[in-house]
Amino acid sequence: MNGRLRVLPLLAIRNVRRQARRSLLTASAMALGVAVLVFSRTLADGGHEDWIESGVRLGSGHVAFQAPRFRATSNIEDRLTASAAATAQEALGVPGVAEHVRNVAPRLEVQGLANSPTAAVPVAIVGVNPDLEATFSELADRVVEGRYLQAGDRLHAYVGTRLADRLDLEVGSRLVLTAQDARDEIAGQFVRVVGIFRSGLPVADERLVHIPIGTAQSWLGVGADVTTVAVLLESGWVVPDVLQRLHDVLAGTSENLVVLGWQEAMPQLDAAIKVDDLGNYIFNFILYAIIILAIVNTVLMSVMYRTREFGLLRALGLTKRQTAALVFGEGVFLTAVSGVIGMVLGFGFTWVFFRNGLDFSFMLDNDFTFSGVVLEPVIVPAFRLVQVVRSLATIAFVGVLASLYPAYRATRIDLAEAMKFEA
């Protein structure tokens, strides 16, 4: 039954080819649109990956283990016991997680004051394992004076440029850190500046102090406890899966331990990305609207122009539905060809020219910070299979949508009128 209708696709393809010029025009409009879409999408994804990357490096990683109340209180009372931290480390070793883990950094974080003879500034003091932290936070790469912490350091501190200015510090200067310890008493710890960094992020440059974790633990009297086990994964894309796996693994634990994704740990960054995505979606929507109009226009024009031909097909015995199917097929075929060309062009263009990143630094005078994240001035596009699949699906959807109306119009023609010859 369907075999006999094989002539319709054949006709559709030949018709699109016959109107080569018009088809080509639509195809290029569409190809260009899709290329821009693909280009902007890969860049946006790439940009966001950077945002997340910078955010999680300075913050608590893609995922972080903490005591349940710590995020709300930031209080040393709500810390992880050494055995809870060990459970966290074990959880990171299970299949489905282990292969995605890049770095793990245990930290002991406390809010306190940094005092010099001249001033006192509220700071976030982070006790770190220097070796693990050096590759984690990248703060080590932001040294402007001295060096980052090293294994074996004891009474050393790594501070930001703004803090150094406010407390009038230089490498070798002494300062006193004070904070509430595990016994709820104010305790002081004397340290000496070993290095000064500049991250470009004002809050970090003024408020962040790294000291060796052993020093912090004995100063605050917490033994081997930590407040956070921060984890860096291979990329932001695997976070949902890893998080799910970790939730499952930790479901049965009796330890006072939760695992958070960066979205929970850094809600502002998450919101910023969502806002930016929304902007992109609006832009995409407009592009799709233009593409749809271009296709509707081409296909509709060809319907108007070919009333006689459709009249003829109907006279020859095609039903309304078959006539509509023919017009619909032409639209979908046109969309498919131009859409695929557009995708190849878009991905190809982005790959050839921007594979190594698009440098925006010429646009930026100073460090560019956004929602607490220092943005790299170079955006590397992210190529993802899901993006290709999504683009293909969207093209198919657009093709169907744009071909419906002309197909409907083709059924509305009056047969006798279509076949009339004016004398």
Partner 1 sequence: MTKQRMPAVKTADVWKVFEHDGLAVEAVRGVSLDIEPGEFVVLAGPSGSGKTTLLNLLGGLTRPTRGGVWIDGRDLTSMSERELAKLRLERVGFVFQAYNLLPVLTALENAEFSLLLRGIPPDERRRRVEELFAVIGMTGLEDRRPAKLSGGEQQRVAVARAVVGKPALVLADEPTANLDSAASDALLGVMADLNRERGTTFVFATHDTRLMERAKRLIRLVDGAIESDDVRQDMGG
Ligand X SMILES: Nc1ncnc2c1ncn2[C@@H]1O[C@H](COP(=O)(O)OP(=O)(O)O)[C@@H](O)[C@H]1O
**What is the contact surface with ligand X in residues (CB under 6 A)?**
416-417
List, as one string, the DSSP characters of 242-286: HHHHHHHHHTT--SS-EEEEHHHH-HHHHHHHHHHHHHHHHHHHH
* Nearest-approach distance from CB 312 to ligand X, in angstroms: 17
Nearer to partner 1, 3 or 152 (CB): 3
Min dist CB 421 to ligand X, Å, is: 8
Do 228 and 70 form a contact (C-beta atoms < 8 A)? yes
> Closer CB to partner 1, residue 360 or residue 408?
408
Residue 95, binding choice from ligand X, partner 1, none, Cβ under 5 to 8 Å by partner class: none
Terminal CA-to-CA distance of the chain, rounded, Å? 41
What is the DSSP secondary-structure string of 99-147?
A: GGEEEEEEEEEEEEEEE-SS-EEEEEEEEE-HHHHHHHHSGGGGEEEE-
Task: Give the nearer residue to ligand X in terms of CB position, either 1 or 416.
Answer: 416
Q: Which residue is nearest to ligand X (CB)?
A: 417
Q: What is the CA radius of gyration of the chain?
A: 31
CB atoms inside a 10 Å sphere around CB 164: 23
CB of 400 to partner 1, least distance (A): 23
Closer CB to partner 1, 107 or 306, in the complex = 306
Query: Taking CB within 5 to 8 Å according to partner kind, which of ligand X, partner 1, none is near residue 308?
Result: partner 1
Q: Closer to ligand X by CB, 363 or 423: give it.
A: 423
Q: Work out what residue 119 binds among ligand X, partner 1, none; the CB cut-off runs from 5 to 8 Å by kind.
A: none
Contact of residue 415 among partner 1, ligand X, none (CB under 5-8 Å per partner type): partner 1
- Report the nearest approach of ligand X to the CB of residue 412 (Å): 15
Q: Are strands 174-180 and 228-233 parallel, antiparallel or unpaired?
A: unpaired
Out of ligand X, partner 1, none, what residue 18 binds, judged by CB under 5 to 8 A for its kind, is partner 1
SS3 category, 93: coil
Which of 79, 314 has the CB closer to ligand X?
A: 314
Q: Which residues would be at the binding site for partner 1 (CB under 8 A)?
A: 1, 3-5, 7, 11, 14-15, 17-18, 308-309, 312-320, 415-416, 419-421, 423
Comparison of 102 and 412: residue with beta carbon closer to partner 1: 412
What would the 3-class secondary structure string for 292-316 be?
Answer: HHHHHHHHHHHHHHCHHHHHHHHHC
Q: Would residue 168 be called left, alpha or beta, if left means φ above 0 and alpha means ψ between -120 and 50 degrees?
A: left
Q: Characterise 13 by phi-psi region: left (phi > 0), alpha (psi -120 to 50), beta (else).
A: alpha
Q: Give the shortest CB-405-to-ligand X separation in angstroms.
A: 25
Q: What is the DSSP letter of 69?
A: T
- Which CB sits closer to ligand X, 385 or 416? 416
Angle between helices 267-305 and 307-315 (to 10 degrees): 70
Contact criterion met (CB below 8 Å) for 100 and 238: yes
Least separation in angstroms between CB 304 and ligand X: 18
Residue 413 CB, nearest distance to partner 1 (Å)?
12
CB of 416 to ligand X, least distance (A): 6
34 neighbors 342 (Cβ within 8 angstroms): yes
**Strands 156-160 and 368-370, sheet pairing:** unpaired
| 17/247 with CB nearer partner 1 | 17
> In whole angstroms, how close is the CB of 344 to partner 1 at the nearest point?
27
121 binds, among ligand X, partner 1, none (CB under 5 to 8 A by kind): none
User: Bridge partners of 159?
Assistant: 196, 209
> Which of ligand X, partner 1, none does 102 bind, CB closer than 5 to 8 A by kind?
none
